[in-house]
Each structure stands twice: as structure tokens, then as C-alpha cells.
Chains A and B, each alone.
Chain A
Amino acid sequence: MMPALAMFVTDRLVHLSTVDVVIVVFYFVLVLAIGFYLKGQANTSEDFFMAGREMTAWIAGLSFLSANLGALELMGWAAASYQYGILATHWYWIGAIPAMLFLALVMMPFYYISKTHSVPGYLKLRFGESSRTLSAVSFAFMTVLMSGINMYSMALVMKVVLGWDINFSIWISSLTVAIYVALGGLRSAIFNEVLQFILIWAGALLIPILGLVETGGWTNLKAQIARNASSEYTHLWSTLGTFNGNPMGIHWTGIVFGLGAIISFGYWTTDFLVVQRVLSAKDLRAAKMAPIIGAAFKMMVPFIVILPGLLGLALLPVKLTGETAAVATGGHSYNEVLPLMLARYCGPGLLGLGVTALIAGFMSGMAGNVSAFTTVWTYDIYRALIHKDAPDEHYVSMGRWTTVIGVLISVGTAYLVMSFASIMDYVQALFSFFIAPLYGTVILGMLWKRATSAGGFWGLLAGTLSSIGMWAWVKVDPSALRYVALSPNARDMAENMYRALWSWVVCVVVTVIVSYLTKPKPESELNGLVYGVTAIPHEAEVPFYHRPAFWAVVVAVVFVIFNIMVW
């Protein structure tokens, strides 16, 4: 360990050698260099907030996925797979792939043709200012809070894994993100996300390869898990017939209708954090291909996230426990399974690359939050409500300052969470309140021309309030779980699935009823926004192997095969 860093280091899970530290430092230097290099290419608002709308399908697609592939995502789902087995894969397959393909083929034309800058911006065009304001304010508020929570969680991980001081981790990583996003805007965030995506794979892929070598292949791994835990841990669907027949306490209806149909569609099609990356594509075909490329790689992510968790279950000599038990006994928690596997196989150099992958994951997630927040604040709140007709340079300047301020608010939230840990549970629940109803509003807006402005607004509000109401009901009276989640045995994840489903239903029903009671917009005002009154470019002249629909079918077929393989 270099002497300069030694003062920030306490007890740790892994020990970095000099070459590991050089690899980590080189990563920070490179991302900053990219930010400084791209500063000159972020002079207009279109450049700064939309990356000039000139990204290829590959860049937009990898960035789309990378913004979601944060370090907590990597470590959290590796921990979940140790705890719940292969069921965690649902969040990568049925909880992502259908929604990503739907975004590509059905929704992307409307987002792209309408030339909106953001998802709240689409709501403004389709439903009016009130829907946009409700959506923008809730998104901006929750995004910076979530960013702060992730920042604190990651700093905690760095403390456990590397022994780094929490303040050191928070300030170094957040200032780096602030600098490169403020300098180069969305283009810089996207460039770094693609770099981070490659590093995540380069750093994490060795674990499953060497793990499978050590266990002697998938069949032996399953047999070992059956001995250490239960054979239920390696089945994806066959244990979901009852709530208590699987480690997660969830029924297949919750996975299919709650996660697969509502939560994932809400997240992947309306969360501006990810959609913003696709809006930067250079043309409509690239915008449609980007989520399909993202889906293809998303399907592979369980290989570097879920498989290491399962390998930990089979191979680690120690039994991992929950966080509270780990602290009480001085043992290791589920969350440490990925670093433990990293330390198991990776010597000098590889360990540095693996740690860089975790840091890269954290920074890509944070840059995604910050750039999305900056765009929504500048376009949908500041320009819409505070300062309408300023020159373009003014909004670019506002974007740069908002990036810095957004990061500082996130840092503030991180310190708030450090003092009041229970805030984390509340804010994560709050974030989920908005996703499902927003999906109801957007999808009705795109596919049903009779939906009115009043219908959109009241549906969104009713869906959000009903979600908050259900959450509060279960908090006050835990026995209400039998109504909200259809079973008193349902765990937190199952409750989230069903709450999302009901809030989406409330949003859709209220939107339909209010729309029939109010006057619709004339069709001439819906051109470019709604199915049936929008001319979508045909691809008859394009060879079939260049068509997004062809590749979506390929991804869908592989998706089905994968599910059957581990049924």
C-alpha cells in the first residue's frame, strides 16, 4: 500500500498491492482526462444535455445498460443470489428483457420522433404542464436522494472491502464524477459509462470462469449447492407455485405480473436515468437498436453477478449471514460475497482490476443519476417554471452548476443517511412509488389517443398516492400484507411487486375514467406522440439483418432458451 493512502486505510477484507493501487489511480486519471477532453464538445444545450444526439446504437446501448449496472447492483444481486439462489436472476431476465424490447420496438419511436429532451418533457407534450411538473419534481427530488444513498452504501462497502475511510471514498468518487460530468455533460457521462462497462466485465468475468473450473462445471456446482443449502436454489421457475416453496417467499404471479409486467416496464421504459441514454442516439434506427443491444448484454450479466453468488454458496468455507448478524459475530455478510470471491481468485493486478470494476460501477450509476437530474432540473423545472427565455449558453451554464450542486446534495444525503440509517428504507420505498404509475400514464399516453390531459394528471397522482397509501397501511398494520401482497407470508420484495401492480391498475383506471369525462385533444395535436396518428418510418428497404425487429426476436428466443435451461 502506498504511504499516501495508508492514512485512509483501516481494517479490510482484501489487501491491495502497489500494482493494484496503480490500476485504480490510472482509472481515475483516465475518466478525468476524458472529461477534460470532451469539455470543448459541450458548448450548446443540445451537446451538453443530449450529447448532440449523435451516439451510435452500440454506444447508446452500452451506456443505457451501464447507467443501471452500478456497484450496488453488482454486489447487491450477488448477495441476493447467495441468499435466495438463482431466483435473483429474474431481475435480469423477465424483470428486464421484455421491457427493454418493448421500449425499443413500441415506445422508442414516440420518444424519438417527438424530439423530447426527457420523459417529463414527453408528458408535457402529451398531457400538459401539470403532469410534467408532478413527474419532474418527483424524479429530480428522488434521483439526488437515491444518488446519496448509493454513495453512502458504496463508501460503506469500500470501508469493509478495502478499509478506506468513508469520507475519503465519498469525496474522491463524487468530486471525480462532478468534474467529468460538469465538463463534458452527457457525452462525457456516456463515454465514461462505456469505459466503465468494459472494465466491469474485464474485472468481474474471471470469477465465474475460475469458479466453474474449481467446481468442475455447472452440474457439479448444482450438486454442491444442494448439499450446502437446497436444490431449490438452482431452479428459476419450478419452485414458484407457492409462496413458501422457495427461498424468496414469492409466487410466480408476483414475478410475472408485478416484476415482469409492471416494475420492469416502469423502470426500463420511463425512468429517465436510462431512457436519456437512448434519446442521445443519432437516428431512430439507432435509438431502437440501443435497448436491444442493452438487452442482449443484460441477459449475460447474471454470469458475472448471480453465478459468483452461487459459487460462493458452494465454495466459500465460511457461512455468510445478514448484516446485523455479521456485525454481532464479526463474520462476513451476504454483501461481501463478490469481494470474497474476488480475493479468492485474483492475485496482484487482477485484484486492482476487480476493485476498479466495483468503483467503475458505482461511478457509472452516480453519473447516470446526476446527468439525468441535471437535464430534468434545467429543462423541466428551471426553464419551464423559473426562467423561460434565456439564451442557450445560460442553460448550459445552469447544467454545469446543477451537476455540481446535484453532487453536493447527494453528498449531503449520504451524510444524512450516515446519521439516520432508517432514512434509507424510506427513500428507497418512496422511489418505487413513482415508477409504476408513471409507466401507466406514459403507456396510455402513447397507445390511446382518447387519453386526456386531465386523465393523465389525475391518473398519475392517484396511482402515486395509492402506492404511498398501501405502503403506509402495511407499516401501520402488518396484517394488511395479506390484502396488498395476497399472502401473509409475502416478504418485502413480494410486497413491492404487488404494490406496484395495484398502483399501476389504479393509475390506468383513473386515467380511463377521467379521460372519458373530459374533452380529448384534437388528433392534429397528437401527431408524433400517439400510436395511430404518428407516421413511423418503415424499414421495408432495410435488409432484415439490419432491422431492430429481427434482433429483438433473436434476443427474445435466447431469453426463452435461457429460462428453460434453468427452469
Chain B
Amino acid sequence: MIRAIAIVIVLLLNIQMPVYGAQAKPLEDIRAPIENGIALLKDPQYAVASKRDEQREKIWEIIQDIFDFRIISMMALAREWKTFNAKQQKDFTEAFTELLKTNYLNKIQGQFHDEKVIFLGEDLLTEKKAVVRSKILRQDTEIPMDYKVVFSHGKWRIYDINIEGISLIKNYRTQFKNILAKESPDALIERIRETTREEKKNGKPNA
């Protein structure tokens, strides 16, 4: 009898019920959208000028899904965020997101030439913070690119990109910090808008 109990206890201890992790893996959350984006870029139906805007919109949808622009904006200002009033915070987030969108969509759409993205792996730093490592193969060069991701609102989203050791957020933070040392938040927001306008004027890629 005792033996029967013992056996049952041992069995119970060894049954591994599938424990559903609190979150899916970071790599999976961003890999599929990125690969979809690349497929979109390669899709021959968008090679005509008339379809470029449509392609842009679709790519932007993907980007909005996997990047967390609010966290990105907050981190780009760091401590200065709290010195902005609510309207300025909102304007800044809008302006900065628009800057990133214009600049990087132009670049992605205009300069994509069959690069391949190879995902190398992920490093979970804390429960909510991870790094997804990848490299971009372009002609004969390899460019290491890391995505820093945060788990918020149920999925992993990107909050920083690291290319060859250069962090995008840190780069903008340096610039904004220096501008805010001499100018007001509204002036910074206006400068961001100015940069975006310049880019819109000059940068739109041709088919």
C-alpha cells in the first residue's frame, strides 16, 4: 500500500505539464513581420511607380506593429521627457515618429537591393528585455544588426536598433540633449519637423 502511494507520488512529480510561458520568444515575434516586409520589398508587382505608395503603406503597417514608437520617443529624450508638458510630449512623439518613418521608409524602399536578413539568435536579458541578433548580407559584406526588444502589451516589440555597435536611440538622444541644452522643447520639435520636410522634399525614391 505504502509502495503504491510512493509510486503515485513519484509519477506525479515527474509528469511535466506543459507550462505555457508568460510570453512567446522574442525572435518569433519579430521574425515573421520582418520577413513579410522583405517579401513585400521584393514583390515585383510593386516595382511600378504607381504602386510605390501602396507598398510604402503596407510596409509602414508592419513597422508600426513591431516597433514601439512611444517607448522609442521616451527613450530618445530620457530625462528631458518629464520637462515637456503633455502637448509637447504628444507633438514630439508625432514629429519624431514621422521623422523616422520618412527617413527610413525612403531608405528601405529606395535602397533595397536583394539584401538578405539572417537571424542569428536571441538573448533574453530579463523577463521583459531581450536582444535579437541578425546580420544583413549585402553583396560581399555582412553587417551585424541587433534589435533590442521589450515585452509590452502582450508581445515583443523593438525599441532600439544597433548597427555595428551604433545605437539608433543613443544617436538621437545625443542630438536632442545637445539641442535642448540651448533651445526650448518647441524649438526641438520644430527642428525635427524641418528635417522631415527636407527629407520629404528631396528624398522620395523613384521607381
Whether both chains belong to one complex is answered with no
